[in-house]
Chains A and B, each alone.
Chain A
């Protein structure tokens, strides 16, 4: 009889221990320990090249770690595929690919369909309603290269929504988008959190991070800090994560002591 593998840290949405990830034997993430409780809206922040995208890819099994383990709600990713949603960096795909917005959103359902089964009418309805949620219903039949950057990003978000996941990973969904798109996206992220889902987002904008997110992971090759925004969003931690680059930012905006978390927007 096959032994049921024991669940590991089932009360955490994401549990990572001693994770080291390398490209061509050159580690870009060293010995990372992360614990994200369920139901938070978490941001991964850190400078360019800190390994934020690499971390997400390792969680989703796209890169094989050279050490460490990763569990989602107590199970390894391979067992949790259907409960994990993914929004890759927008620049990671070719937007000249001959396909429509609706078709891209439908791709989010391929996992539930499995091999060989074709998306049918139900899939179409689901995809259309996801497009509606991101305010893109009018663009369903548009070729994707005809969309603006913000609209493309919303299509990606709609694709993740149809995955109907428990934990979401999103790589810079708000990079280079217009104000309308940013509002739509942050509204949706908060709605997902209200539904009890865990949303983990690579975020690039230190000005908005404290107002948008209630949990932070500060990363720069190693993990600098993690925890509630109110506890870890400090000048000291940011300086440790960003090093000299912090001088470029408006230091006045960053509190010396933990701020009271303003639930705005």
Chain B
């Protein structure tokens, strides 16, 4: 029963995608918040060098040394980047752009020279072969379990433990590294642990999703989540949710359209990002547009009450505080005049004279005008 499930591609493949997504977005959230998304890109490419070097030395396709090799090369990437940046001659983003193509290129050359006959081919390196992730299995207590599930499950657990245990420390070190260091938490150590885990995640997920798709999983779900909420744990939770949903939907879409599974999974994360960008409750484009329109409406109403307040106790009140003055002096067109007066009346700020020409402030309108004029009074 269990074995049937674990050798069924339509269970294993989306599950592998979901594990990649969860593991990636857990570390990715902190990288994105720290402004180090590009570093995730760099690491997911340069771990290939670690994989190739370990393969050349051990001749083994599955070896625990891959983890060590990947972590070492990941940290080497960061170290070289910081070395270049610290020289003061290269900006941080340019330094990243110099380092990882170099390491990636070395890896590709090594593959071509020494390992022509291995299953590492360029497509797999970039996009992975998640569709075949159910094929390689190991026997665990007599049950055949796909390798990918075992390793990715372990890494997901590791990342969840790291984020769970050091949640408070990671939050502080990401938001205010200065205070974190002053209080005796080592933000540098936490940062390197985070990057180490990113490298380990990358090498574990490499077979399944490759370098390019992995970046989508590390950066995109957290970025989408960030647009949707205002607290850190919700950002983490939503990122994880988006990653899982993208894997499932991506898998279904790929089967339906008969296209690359990894590709559709990545596209799905992108769809979530675009949706969050457009329809996010506070930072989404639509919400911002509505907010701006509301603001404009409010400002027009304020302009009106201030105008009335300014003139109501003076002799020109009859001329100024009238509908026609809004047209002639404020230069509002008919549509705007009727809209603003309607809003003003609705909100109880103004009343209209008997001939629908004179405008009068209510007490509430007067209060608002005073607030606009003398904002310090409010406190």
Contacts and interface: CB of A to CB of B under 8 A. Distances in A.
Interface of A: 24, 57, 60-62, 78, 81, 84, 86, 88, 92-94, 97-100, 103-104, 107, 110-111, 113, 115-116, 118-119, 143, 159, 179-180
B37 to A, nearest CB: 14
A57 B178 contact: yes
B345 interface: no
Contacts, number: 77
Given A110-B183, A115-B185, A116-B165, A99 B178 contact: no
Interface of B: 33, 35, 86, 88, 165-169, 171-172, 174-176, 178-185, 226, 229-232, 234-235, 376, 379
Contacts of A100: 230-231
Given A113-B168, A116-B165, A97 B174 contact: yes
Contacts of A86: 178-179, 182
A107 B170 CA distance: 11
A88 B179 contact: yes
A179 B376 CA distance: 9
Contact of A99 (B86, B175, B179): B175
B168 to A, nearest CB: 6
A99 B171 contact: yes
Contacts of A115: 169, 185
Nearest 3 CB-CB pairings of A with B: A111-B183, A143-B230, A60-B182
Contacts of B88: 24
Contact of B178 (A92, A110, A111): A92
A57 B88 CA distance: 21
Secondary structure of the B side of the interface?
helix
A81 to B, nearest CB: 5
A100 B171 CA distance: 12
Contacts of A111: 183-184
Contacts of A104: 175
* Residue among A81, A84, A110, A179 with max Cβ neighbours from chain B (10 Å): A110
Contact of B184 (A24, A81, A99, A180): A81
Given A60-B181, A92-B178, A107-B175, 8 more contacts: A57-B178, A61-B182, A93-B176, A97-B33, A98-B33, A110-B183, A111-B184, A119-B168
B172 A110 contact: yes
Contacts of A119: 168
A86 B181 CA distance: 11
Nearest to B181: A62
Contacts of A62: 178, 181-182
Contacts of B175: 93-94, 97, 99, 104, 107
A84 B184 CA distance: 12
A107 B184 CA distance: 13
Contacts of B376: 179-180
Contacts of B168: 110, 113, 118-119
12 contacts: A24-B86, A88-B178, A100-B230, A100-B231, A107-B176, A110-B169, A110-B185, A111-B183, A111-B184, A115-B169, A119-B168, A143-B230
Nearest to A87: B179
Given A24-B86, A24-B88, A99-B231, A92 B184 contact: no
A119 B167 CA distance: 11
Nearest to B165: A116
A62 B173 CA distance: 13
